[in-house]
């Protein structure tokens, strides 16, 4: 029977992999995968279709798209635009799926125009958590221009209105980010909210090379055990698209990855092959719990990020902001 163990991850893909590693099928959860070998890009779609599936996965029903590529933070203009275009396509897919088809009935709305609020979640002063604020910095916001001079000031017959906010964190403002955003939504009436945040991963190989796009909203701080009120359609009253990149893993994950390498080394040794086989018989959950006990209590609350995270966040934030800018050009 699958043990109840806690894995620090915000990625629906990793939650699904956790069950697969224990040979457990989850009814109501569908996974589809597509790999482009030429571009070294893997797209994974996890559809949580039922409430039972959502309960097993620990995530709301909806669509979770994951883009993985080792080139995500590569400082190359052509690669940057290629990944941004792919992200743009998938963000548009989820917006088209979730946008309220009756939004034109709202007072002041016009056919074809879309009002979008982008929320850059996180703490600008902590680099691994600064992805959201950095993305907001690079956006081509125009709501103030359209409101002041009309959409024709943008030189087009249809003009999407883009606004952005960086609400900070509770330690800076004394308020939940969702409280701030809820007030802004009530005042500005966007059709949709796009929330960008840094995430936590279970697999260290996914750090700064993975983007998750979900139509279920976002829960700031959940990956590092700092549970805050979520930003969802239920809490804000409009659809919420969550975009996140894993920038940290917990210490137990690092040790667990090392343990996997250690087991492979044992299995390749004639003298110690039996020990490796015995350790291999443990489920992923059992190994993870074993590692957590070994490093307790001093390292249990430690999270790890790459030493060049400042440069990585800089490049990734430009890619995501470019994808959003392309989406609403």
Residue 116 has pLDDT above 60, yes or no: yes
Domain count, the chain: 1
Is residue 64 pLDDT above 90, yes or no? yes
Residue 263 is assigned to a structural domain of this protein: no
Using H for helix, E for strand and C for coil, what is the string for the chain?
CCCCCCCCCCCHHHHHHHHHHCCCCCCCEEEEEEEECCCCEEEEEEEECCHHHHHHHCCCCEEEEEEECCCCCCCCHHHHHHHHHHHHHHHHHHHHHHCCCCHHHCCCCCCCCCEEEEEECCCCCCHHHCHHHHHHHCCCCCHHHHHHHCHHHHCCCCCCEEEEECCCCHHHHCCCHHHHHHHHHHHHCCCEEEEEEEEECCCHHHCCCEEEEECCCECCCHHHCCCCCCECHHHHCCCEEEEEEEEEEEHHHHHHHHHHHHHHHHHCCCCCHHHHHHHHCCCHHHHHHHHHHHHCCCCCCCEECCCCHHHHHHHHHHHHHHHHHHHCC
Q: Is the pLDDT of residue 107 over 70?
A: no
Lowest mean pLDDT among 13-22, 217-226, 303-312: 217-226
Question: How many residues are recorded in the chain?
Answer: 329
Q: What token pair was written down for 151?
A: 């959409």
Residue of 184, 151, 154, 188 whose CA lies nearest to 167: 184
- Picking from 159, 158, 166, the residue whose alpha carbon sits closest to that of residue 144 is 159
Q: What is the mean pLDDT of residues 320-326?
A: 96
Examine the pLDDT at 104 and tell me if it is beyond 50: no
Has residue 268 been placed in a domain? no
Average pLDDT, the chain: 84
Q: What are phi and psi for residue 237, nearest 5 degrees?
A: 90, 0
* pLDDT value of position 20: 61
103 pLDDT higher than 90:
no
pLDDT band per the 50, 70, 90 thresholds, residue 252: confident
Is the model's pLDDT at 106 over the cut of 60? Answer: no
Given this model, what pLDDT does residue 23 score? 55
Q: Is residue 283 part of a domain?
A: no
Q: Is residue 18 part of a domain?
A: yes
**Residue 279 within a domain:** no
Instruction: Label residue 231 exposed, middle or buried (CB < 10 Å: 0-12, 13-18, 19+).
Output: buried
What is the model's pLDDT at position 101? 47
* Cα 250–chain centre separation: 17
| Structural domain boundaries enclosing 312 | 12-248+306-327
CA distance 134 to 309: 13
Residue 36 has a pLDDT of 92
User: Residue 173 belongs to a domain with what CATH number?
Assistant: 3.40.50.1450
Most confident of 144-158, 184-198, 246-260, 294-308: 184-198
Does a cis peptide bond (omega within 30 degrees of 0) precede residue 288?
A: no
Residue 3 has pLDDT above 60, yes or no: no
Residue 299 tokens read as: 């390292």
Reported pTM: 0.83
> Would residue 294 count as lying in a domain?
no
Per-residue pLDDT tens over the stretch 280-308: 777 666 766 777 677 766 666 778 888 89
CB atoms within 10 A of CB 184: 17
CA pair distance 39, 149, nearest whole angstrom: 42
């Amino acid at each position: 029977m699958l043990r109840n163990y806690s894995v620090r991850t915000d990625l629906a893909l990793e939650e699904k992999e956790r069950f697969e590693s224990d040979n457990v099928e989850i009814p109501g959860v569908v996974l589809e995968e597509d790999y482009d070998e030429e571009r070294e890009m893997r797209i994974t779609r996890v559809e949580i279709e039922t409430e039972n599936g959502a309960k097993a996965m620990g995530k709301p029903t909806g669509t979770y798209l994951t883009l993985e590529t080792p080139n995500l933070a590569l400082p190359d203009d052509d690669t940057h635009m290629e990944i941004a275009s792919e992200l743009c396509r998938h963000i548009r897919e989820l917006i088209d799926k979730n946008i309220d088809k009756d939004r034109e009935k709202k007072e002041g709305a016009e056919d074809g125009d879309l009002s979008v609020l982008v929320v850059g979640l996180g703490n600008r002063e902590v680099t691994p958590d600064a992805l959201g604020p950095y993305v907001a910095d690079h956006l081509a916001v125009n709501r103030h221009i359209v409101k002041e001079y009309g959409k024709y000031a943008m030189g087009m017959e249809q003009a999407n209105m883009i606004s952005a906010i960086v609400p900070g964190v509770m330690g800076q403002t004394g308020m939940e980010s969702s409280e701030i955003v809820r007030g802004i939504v009530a005042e500005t009436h966007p059709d949709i909210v796009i929330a960008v945040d840094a995430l936590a991963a279970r697999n260290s190989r996914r750090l700064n090379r993975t983007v998750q796009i979900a139509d279920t909203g976002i829960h700031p701080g959940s990956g590092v055990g700092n549970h805050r009120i979520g930003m969802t359609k239920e809490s804000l009253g409009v659809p919420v698209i969550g975009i996140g990149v894993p920038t940290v893993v917990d210490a137990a994950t690092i040790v667990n990855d090392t343990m996997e390498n250690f087991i492979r080394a044992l299995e390749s040794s004639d003298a110690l092959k039996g020990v490796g086989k015995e350790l291999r018989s443990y489920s992923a959950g059992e190994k993870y719990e074993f590692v957590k006990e070994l490093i307790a209590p001093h390292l249990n609350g430690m999270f790890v990020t790459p030493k060049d995270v400042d440069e990585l966040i800089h490049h990734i934030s430009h890619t995501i902001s470019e994808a959003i800018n392309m989406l609403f050009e």
